Structure 1
Amino acid sequence: MASEIEISAMRRALDAADGVARTLPNPRVGCVLLSADGTQLAVGAHHGAGTPHAEVDALSRAGAAARGATAVVTLEPCNHTGRTGPCSQALIDAGVVRVVFAQIDPNRSAAGGAATLRAAGIEVEAGVMAEEATDLNVEWTFALTAGRPFVTWKYAATLDGLSAAPDGSSKWITGEEARRDVQTFRAEADAIVAGTGTVLADDPRLTVRDAADVPLPHEQQALRVVVGETTIPSHYRVFDRVAPTLVVPSRDPAMVLKHLADREIRHVWLEGGPRLAGAFWTAGLIDRVIGYIAPAMLGSGRAALEGEATTLADLRPINLQDLTMIGPDIRIIGTPGRMQREDID
């Protein structure tokens, strides 16, 4: 059973992992090394594909002091060779005598580290703060277990549910604070998806930007994905060199997600417009909703979502997880639920 010192170390490891904005397509992982008397030797974290995994990062910081140590890790040490070697072997080679980890690795190609460690005579304890560790990587875990990317749909609308005026204009419905808030969430995804209609109407950049509205470096940008069969002229901003861009000439959400899954995309940030969002919604392929509601009315225009509902029995509730004021606007975060026909009065 994990000691209080090890549980405290797990919290530090979770904090270290949470301090990295995005590591996709890999998970966020933290590791703390403890000496035999419980003293913290080193803290490591994974910073993205091609960089050392959290265990290796911590081991390199601890050096020879890692021999005889306990490794506290937020995810089961990997057991495969990719861009880096297996962490299970690195821990064995370093002389670690005990490993405490949280989440069991759902990645079949990387799992098995616990068994390898036990076979080498290392004491292993699994499942310590597993729920917290899984929450840290909910999108990554979903993508590996469901076989498709996790989809977050973001929209902005007026109080009467409209996202664009009758003439198609939609900038800006929400305030500056909400637009800055969006960037924080965008930075956590590895693909930003928009339909050709939105790209043609708004000429968006679809990039992750800082507080000064300056795009982050190219290597920190998500993949921009333009979905639809309409040709977008090459001078549109979505084709600039600030971030990579992929055009998927399809209107089928399942096909789009399969294409992205094949590219190891784990988390899709769906920006719309309403027709594309409606296609994903109707197909049941939206996993989280983040809505920004402006305290204003339009009276007429385009709804934020254009689905295929025909009766009140098609109503789907949103299970709210958060409700926050962002400047003058209201931000809601929730997950789509399902309502059975017999629940309708």
Structure 2
Amino acid sequence: MTQAFVVDRVHVRAPGKINVFFAVGDVDGDGYHEVASAYQAVSAYEDVWATSSDEFTIAVTGTVDIAGVPLDDRNLALRAARLLAEEIGWDGGVHLDVRKAVPVAGGMGGGSADAAAALVACDALWGAGLSTAELHRLAARLGADVPFALLGGTAVGTGRGDELSPALARGRFEWVLVTSHEGMSTPTVYAELDRYRAERSPDIAPLLRRPLVFPPVLQALRQGDPHLLASASRNDLEIAAVRLRPDLDDILALGSAEGALTGLVSGSGPTIAFLVEDEDAARELQVTLSAAGHSALRVHGPVPGARIVPD
């Protein structure tokens, strides 16, 4: 591609997510699981700046621990930039500056948000003008959570989590997140769930290969009702995460005892999301959890997906 750069630098912000519902089907022959998820984008953001360059490079800073973030082609944002360049025939490169505020390996899709932001930023930087559908197609090649980071808001994900349908959500839901300095490996958590189910296969109901999001979850989101959402939320990966990290169970119990409507492990963990009734309750719970020695963060949702930010 020989077109000139439209701008020299583009800033894109993309949100982290929580799974307000996450059902996991049985493992298939390829080693993957069918899932059904209700995603909500929340106000913990990743910021990515894309600057014109001859090479593909990346630098990462953040308000969270970034020690485990790769700076080579294992980085999902860098892979996203390369994928877009290949798609449009771009013969140059890009430098990406990433500022992370979503916990790394915390089950909140921070790396996926980086990739979504990189796609949007490079599309604008290079003047590619890809459609939303084209960007989502590329996002799905990068990982199951990347398309949702593009979409934002609230959505139902099926298949491997990347077949998205927007879901209506009224009002604003208040969450308090407890983060951890030690991340968790998503494949390890899934493997632990498979072991748990195999151990108990005579005692549990057969699993659906294509699980569904429970209707009460969608009803609660439509009504903007945190109490109904609290009663309907679940995460099948939670039992596996807690088996690997028993300390998570103690945090869940503390949050519930201190007034949270419900608490659940976000995605594959270890971040824990507590749903509360309103902003006052969120502030009170954040103070209580912080006083107990935990890293607690107030966020709300839903918020938009990856968007260009004027600098």
Give the structure with the larger strand fraction: 2
Which structure has the bigger radius of gyration?
1
TM surpasses 0.5:
no
TM-score by length of 1: 0.24
Greater length-normalized contact order (CA 8 Å, ≥ 6 residues apart)? 2
